[in-house]
Structure 1
Amino acid sequence: MVEYWWVSVQASDQAKWLSIGVCERTWELIYTHDEYGNATFGSKKELIQLALTGNYIRARLYMADYMLHLPSDSISKYKDQICFQSLRVLANNGTHVDSEEPWLHYMVCTSGHVTEQGVSNVSTFRVPMDWYVKDISHRPEPVFSNFIDGTPMKPMQILQLHAAARRMSLVGAMRDRPYVFPFHNVIVDPETGEVNGQNVMHMGQRYADECWRLVYTNDGNGFPIYGAIADLVDAVTRGHRVRVRFDDQAAEVSNIRVKGDVVAAQLLHEVTRVGGYGSDRYYIEADTRVRFSIAHTTGTVVSYDYLVGSPSHKRNPPTRRVIEWMVDTRPWTVVLQTMDPPGQGPSRGDGQGGSTGDVVLRGSVFDLKDAVMSGASIRLNLLLDPLAGSFFTQASLADIATDTIYAQALDHMSDQKSRIPDEYELQKYLFHWYLTISSEGTVRMTAWNFGEDTFRYDENAPEATVTWFANL
């Protein structure tokens, strides 16, 4: 078996590559098919080639009475078909989450087959689909390749891998399976030069994104070492994704809070390692714990280790760290901004916010719908409590019901202000905090107790200003 850590870019239009930088390229519709997998547009062969060389993949499913947009969490090839898993979807009726059986997991295939797995049932059906691709690099070759025993195919590539692991998001590919998956966190061993990564979103059954740049580094006391905090805050408030690096580990943040010139980032995709100095130090512990961390531009990093499937946990002592903050360089555009309850902003009078004319403050629902229909990635800025600042998160999926867009945002754990001004810590009785956001302005909040999978509450936010960002 050969394992690849990839930088990949391939497309049919070479002229487009030369004229548009990879970080400015939009989601491109590559392939469509009917419910039986018969091609209606594009080339399935090209889609498979692009998918297996690490590019971002998402699909639009034409369900019976709505359209569902799903991102891929991992990709597999079976004979002449590819399938991807999309594992973070909450069952809902558009406005309310199903509190009895909330989680849905999807397997989506170019054959037209969709497997939907709930808590107590599994169903398989066929639907027509559109498949979108976004390039992740300007280079068609992997940044690093090794055999199953770890021997590199080209020894000097390890230097490229070190540079990529510190600044970029990596994707791995097992080409003999073939199977493609992103690394949610990465460690570079400073002594041996070994690079280790974890992916924590598999169900039994991507390659380096180079569009990142370092904008700010703080020391352990929150003073700047490189760049200006204003540049980081500006990038966050314009919708950009963020990665952080401290010690020897790098990871993309799950969500971000901004209050004044302090940024607090939750890191939720890590499980504990064996540690120590043995050859197994990067293996996952048998007594596995998930690690949730919050990193601040003040230099404070606080982490919590929760036993998998249990609320039992330990809070590690807060530490002071030098933290590098990277932002993605892809273009993000505001397509819609809404206010709920309405009546507090200037009236547009065009009905674009639903039944109330002054729900929409900027943009329009039509712009948002066009972006979603074009396969865009969606990010959100929620202002729920002006005193707490802004909350930025990624839409895990978007679906369209009539003329209303609903987005789910799921990658958050319950936090609270700490005793240190503008810093945050996780709540003692931790819960998952899920959001359903409507283009009509409402934000519905659902909570499930962590480690017990027991329902806690489901309610509307009393007030919310929501900004929708799109990366086409």
Structure 2
Amino acid sequence: MVINSSDRVQLLQVYESYQRLQSMEMKVYFQLIVLMTIVTEEVKSYQFGSTKVNKLSCDSKWLKVLEGDKNGKVVSGSKEDLRHAVVSGSKIRIILDELYSTDTQNVYSLNGEICAQALFHISKGGFDSHQTKAYWWFLNVCTTGNVHKSRWYVGVHRSLSESKVKYNIKWFARHLGCDSTLAKPVLCTTESGFPYCGNVNNLINVIRHGAEIHGVDARRSYAVEFTNLHYNKKKSFVSGTHLWHVSQTSVSNYIEFQKNVYWWFTIWSTDGSRDISRWSIGEHKDRGHTTDKLPMIWLADTCWSLAYEHDEHGESIDGSLDYLRSAILNGKRVRLHYHSGYLIEADELIIRNGHVTAQVLGHVSNSGKTFHSDAYWYWENVATTGAVETIRYNIGSHTSRGKTNYRQRIKWFIDTRPWKHVFSNSASGKSIHGSKTILIQEVKAGKMVRFTVKSASHPQSHHVSVLNADNIGINKDEKDVGAQHIRSIGYSKNGPFNVSFTSNPYWNFLIASTTGKIDEYKWTVGIHKTQGRKISKAAIDWFVS
């Protein structure tokens, strides 16, 4: 492939940006690659990152890379180390004032500081209970100590309030590789899509084997984990969709949300293009649709392995349903490959009478490279019986865009990172396995948490829900924790194995506590209207990784 003058200029510009971000070792490595490419005017499929899929357990740990006080002064660690982790695609978690832990959905570097959006929170009245009125509680957290909280009622475009506060913040990173080293790119492209490291086929290969993919805007030091991925092997093309971003603006050396917020959906493509669709939060109002070009770095977490594959009728092709089910009950995350080149992680996993249903909600209508002009959410229940149920609703409204039921051949991948079963409580809150103290210690160490909720009416695991803790609160006496999960749409039983969305769909916000308490709050999709609240007791298994 011959490099034209435009690509050569872009390559040098990207190099200059990337040079400011990486360690000296990476700078030298990157410089050699770029200079060799420009001199020879030929790309020879430079292989930065491994395309092998890890069959064995990955063992990279969560590391506290930075702790800062309320004024952004470094207590321990380094802002530069955190920045290196961000531009290498590492997962980032934060802890606020010792008692509140959460994932982040996107991370941005600005003038030597790092800011992250943490969006998965619904209003709480304590560590284990919801408030009466449900509202989104969006956080923009920066290494300056600044935290901007923007509150918007669920189902309507109405702001409750905002607050600008200062926090002591701990920042944790887990690298995408199998050890403690920073990940190397699988693919790097200029704005025109010219590949100056790796190649698209390598990227497709790791996606086909279940890999989780992260993207970095090399010029702006902006990093995301793609919500879903689409590839076309014949066309050597990949697109990654990122949905969890709320409109923001810079203020000096930190970032805040805009006043009149909107969702900022993006599709990144290996041709260098990025499609951007903006929709008001809480109403079906288009706030603009544009496309731009940017230099992209694609990085892969290949710590995933095929557990089970079946045909459209649920008949086994490869792997084992028993193995998949056992892995899920031991805390493993799950990614699904279906729709002939589509990969997404399950938001909730339900086991009924031996079969598994994955609820996958991270879809907005698109053509593979661009969003539809009148975009809608579509949500799916995908089962090991081969059944797939899809419902569609306008973004920000209760207007249905249709429902379908069909069958699919599906591959189920599990993550190969170790998940440790640290605690179990009975429905009454009695300890029946492990140590609650250790669970709290692991939360404070930045670990991810997953938990299983066993149905009180089916205590022998005939009906179990397995959920990710979107955020975790520790009560003030530090004797119990409450984990909130917000990415779930209510469902009902459908036959002996499957579940189906209800006719009047609702968000099922859930908080599970080590006391055995379960607080479920149901809010109609697209309307600020509750469908009831349920307080119950359940046996819960707690896992950390």
TM-score under structure 1 length normalisation:
0.87
Q: What is the Cα deviation at residue 77 of structure 1?
A: 0.5
Aligned residue for 1:129? Answer: 169
Mapped partners of 2:449, 2:383: distance in 1 = 24
- Give percent identity, aligned residues only: 23
Q: What is the Cα deviation at residue 315 of structure 1?
A: 4.1
Mapped partners of 1:435, 1:379: distance in 2 = 13
Mapped partners of 1:41, 1:35: distance in 2 = 13
Q: 1:374 to 1:385 in 2, by over 3 A?
A: same
The correspondence of residues 132-171 of structure 1 with structure 2, limited to 5 A, is 132-138=172-178, 140-154=183-197, 157-166=199-208, 167-171=210-214
Contact 1:182/1:207 (8 A) holds in 2: no
Contact 2:183/2:299 (8 A) holds in 1: no
Q: What is the Cα deviation at residue 335 of structure 1?
A: 1.4
Contact 2:376/2:401 (8 A) holds in 1: no
Aligned residue for 1:18? Answer: none
Q: What is the Cα deviation at residue 384 of structure 1?
A: 2.3
Confirm or deny that 1:250 pairs with 2:343.
yes
Contact 1:184/1:200 (8 A) holds in 2: yes
The Cα RMSD (Å) is 2.3
Aligned residue for 1:345? Answer: none
Aligned residue for 1:405? Answer: 481
Contact 2:175/2:183 (8 A) holds in 1: no
Q: What is the Cα deviation at residue 93 of structure 1?
A: 2.0
Mapped partners of 1:441, 1:421: distance in 2 = 27
Confirm or deny that 1:184 pairs with 2:227.
yes
Look up the SS of the partner of 1:309 in the other structure: coil
Residue 354 of structure 2, aligned match among 250, 258, 261: 261
Mapped partners of 1:434, 1:61: distance in 2 = 22
The correspondence of residues 440-455 of structure 1 with structure 2, limited to 5 A, is 440-455=515-530
State the one-letter code of the partner of 1:169.
E
State the one-letter code of the partner of 1:271.
V
Contact 2:57/2:418 (8 A) holds in 1: no
The correspondence of residues 14-413 of structure 1 with structure 2, limited to 5 A, is 23-62=58-97, 67-94=99-126, 95-119=128-152, 120-138=160-178, 140-154=183-197, 157-166=199-208, 167-205=210-248, 207-246=299-338, 247-273=340-366, 275=367, 282-340=369-427, 342=428, 353=429, 359-387=430-458, 389-401=463-475, 402=477, 403-413=479-489
Mapped partners of 1:425, 1:457: distance in 2 = 19
Contact 1:30/1:42 (8 A) holds in 2: yes
Contact 1:217/1:324 (8 A) holds in 2: yes
Mapped partners of 2:508, 2:451: distance in 1 = 15
Q: What is the Cα deviation at residue 371 of structure 1?
A: 1.0
Contact 1:99/1:455 (8 A) holds in 2: no
- Describe the superposition over 1:160-204 as per-residue Cα deviations: whole angstroms up to 9, x where unpaired: 100122211111110111210111111112431211111111111
Look up the SS of the partner of 1:160 in the other structure: helix
Q: 1:204 to 1:35 in 2, by over 3 A?
A: same
State the one-letter code of the partner of 2:443.
V
- Describe the superposition over 1:365-424 as per-residue Cα deviations: whole angstroms up to 9, x where unpaired: 212111111111000100124446110010001111122211111111011122x43111
Q: 1:140 to 1:464 in 2, by over 3 A?
A: closer
Mapped partners of 1:296, 1:315: distance in 2 = 20
State the one-letter code of the partner of 1:153.
Y
Corresponding residue pairs, total: 432
Mapped partners of 2:353, 2:187: distance in 1 = 40
Contact 1:23/1:136 (8 A) holds in 2: no
Q: What is the Cα deviation at residue 151 of structure 1?
A: 2.2
Mapped partners of 1:39, 1:197: distance in 2 = 35
Contact 1:136/1:208 (8 A) holds in 2: yes
Mapped partners of 1:338, 1:189: distance in 2 = 46
Confirm or deny that 1:468 pairs with 2:545.
no
Contact 2:352/2:496 (8 A) holds in 1: no
- Describe the superposition over 1:205-226 as per-residue Cα deviations: whole angstroms up to 9, x where unpaired: 2831111011110011111111
Q: What is the Cα deviation at residue 31 of structure 1?
A: 1.3
Mapped partners of 1:164, 1:229: distance in 2 = 23
- Describe the superposition over 1:116-139 as per-residue Cα deviations: whole angstroms up to 9, x where unpaired: 111221111111111111111156
Mapped partners of 1:261, 1:448: distance in 2 = 30
Mapped partners of 1:220, 1:140: distance in 2 = 36
State the one-letter code of the partner of 1:76.
Y
- Describe the superposition over 1:287-333 as per-residue Cα deviations: whole angstroms up to 9, x where unpaired: 11101011111111111111112222244432221100000011111
Aligned residue for 2:262? Answer: none
Look up the SS of the partner of 2:327 in the other structure: helix
Mapped partners of 2:150, 2:443: distance in 1 = 24
Aligned residue for 1:15? Answer: none
Q: 1:22 to 1:239 in 2, by over 3 A?
A: closer
Look up the SS of the partner of 2:504 in the other structure: coil
Mapped partners of 1:437, 1:311: distance in 2 = 28
In structure 2, stretches of 5+ residues that fail to align are 1-9, 26-55, 153-159, 249-297
Q: What is the Cα deviation at residue 432 of structure 1?
A: 0.2
**Bigger mean CA deviation after superposition, 34-43 or 92-101:** 92-101
State the one-letter code of the partner of 2:150.
Q
State the one-letter code of the partner of 1:92.
K
Aligned residue for 1:347? Answer: none
In structure 1, stretches of 5+ residues that fail to align are 13-20, 276-280, 343-352, 354-358
